[in-house]
Structure 1
Amino acid sequence: MPLIDKPLSELYLYEGRNPKPSDHAAYWERALAEMKAVDPQVELVPSEFQVPFADCFDLYFTGVRGARIYAKYIRPKNVPGPHPAVVQFHGYSGSSGDWQDKLGYAALGFSLFSMDCRGQGGRSEDTGGVKGTTLNGHFIRGLNDDPDNLLFRHIFLDAAQLAGIAMSMPEVDPTRVGAFGGSQGGALTIACAALEPRIKRLAPVFPFLSDYLRVWEMDLAKDAYSELKTFFRHFDPQHKRENDIFTKLGYIDIQHLADRIQGEVLMAVGLSDTVCPPSTQFAAYNKIQAPKQVEIFPDFGHEHLPGFHDKTMQFFIKL
């Protein structure tokens, strides 16, 4: 087996390298208070895409800092009583995608909510100076500003807020809501369940946004993490602020949120992943205190992991 990181036995013991800010808990309590003070002004618009067994809606809500956030909402028809739901998150710079690949959950009697991250490839706004897409450079947005203005703080809050909106729907049983996604979507799955601890089950796949310092030390600040190198080259070329920068990134490092999770976790890791190195993923996984299991794919990287989508669906059926 190719080895691009630590041996598996060491991965299960790895605790992460990126510093955690001393006021991390207070930071996120303040952020959640800001989110809860927002009137979400939820709007449901019937989508042009419809199927016989479910209603499909374009869902809009207002997140922190006034951004209108978009999500696809698929609600099954003819399901008696409140039913389970899942919240889905997409990869970096992408979008919620097409409707058709989400219909399996509706066919099983689940509502499904799939969010567009603000400023990326979908319809959600980024209100940080302009409306519409800003697409790239998101996890370095705010590093030269107050930590409360980090863009991924807002995106993490959007994820938690959407889960809360899903739970508030009269047709949804708030005790049976799950979350899933890969890469950035895996990171948002973890952040969502940490900030909205009523999430009952979560299935993150090779999560991004974890243990930035480890990525840097492995010389893997490329691909999804390339903006980290870009930031240093433009704004700290001699790394005089390196410790402060990585500490500020600690606010939006999912490993430092993972111990807040209360739902059951099914995670997948490819041991040949050079985009989100396995050790960075285990930094988050090892801090989860809730019931958990991880599926290992030794020869796979940041790519489709055969059979894991099926395992994820079976995992959620138990809701």
Structure 2
Amino acid sequence: MADFKRLGYFVQIAELGSLTRTAERLRIAQPSLSRQMRILEEELGVTLFTRGHRGMQLTEAGEALRSRIAGPLRQIGHALYEIRSLPTQTVGSVSFGMPPTFVSVLAPDLAERVANEAPGVSLHIVEGYSGHLLQWLKQGELDAAILYGPTPSGVNATRLLDDELVLVGTRAHVPESGELPFRDLAQIPLVLPSHIHGLRVAVETAAAKSRTQLAIAFQSDSFQLMMDLVESGRMCTILPPSAVQKQVASARLRTARIIDPAPKRQVFLAMQSGAQSPRAVIAVEGFLREELARLVDMGVFVGARIRGTAD
């Protein structure tokens, strides 16, 4: 049977793609680390990495092993942290997923709050669209994540927020009136994420209600590429106002409310189904809820409504 510590080394190498960087992070000798991987491969009877000028690349067998053990290893690590920290300390590593529209608005304040009030907690923010975050959460690579609705399946999810969505673009596409009927979107070239993501689902749901055929010119699961296309004036997109407040303040972009119907996004906080959430994860959840409520009160999330855990 493979040694627990050896499996942990394997996951670290898979993440960093380099024996040298992994040895530096773990503060062990590189030859010793390389030997541990050779032993693991011999125990399993498969090759886990290809070794070349691009570093350590997972083989098909290596990827299969990583996907199966990353979650369980994280849970074991949490359990060890919990036992070591009894009865009073809150310590541990928390991997928290957020969509791009939340990272720029919420992540900095959350990170500062955790650093000041829970210094024993190491917070790792992972950025991604809801579809990817849900997959990583189910695989155990994340402890918790903010996801767009509809209600995520296969995880424990509570509703955090209901938020409005607006048209985002340059002056060439967005009306000065600051408002337009949903049906007018049929004439505006749009860039949106692909169908597996919650933001796209919310927009498509509103399109179905208004019987509008959207003019989707391009699909992108890269938030930066999507914003580059919008700022170039080639296309518009649909986002919450909070995601583009800096661009609007500098007059690079403009937003307009969409009516008849007004598209809304439902935002959920999700955790692994059936998992015992360590105190560190619960502490981060509490900070996140408080920071989100503060930002809503400040008007950062325009038109948003905080939802309670019972909603």
TM-score > 0.5, shorter chain as reference? no
TM-score, L = length of structure 2? 0.29
Higher percent of residues as helix:
2
TM-score, L = length of structure 1? 0.28
Structure with max Cα Rg:
2
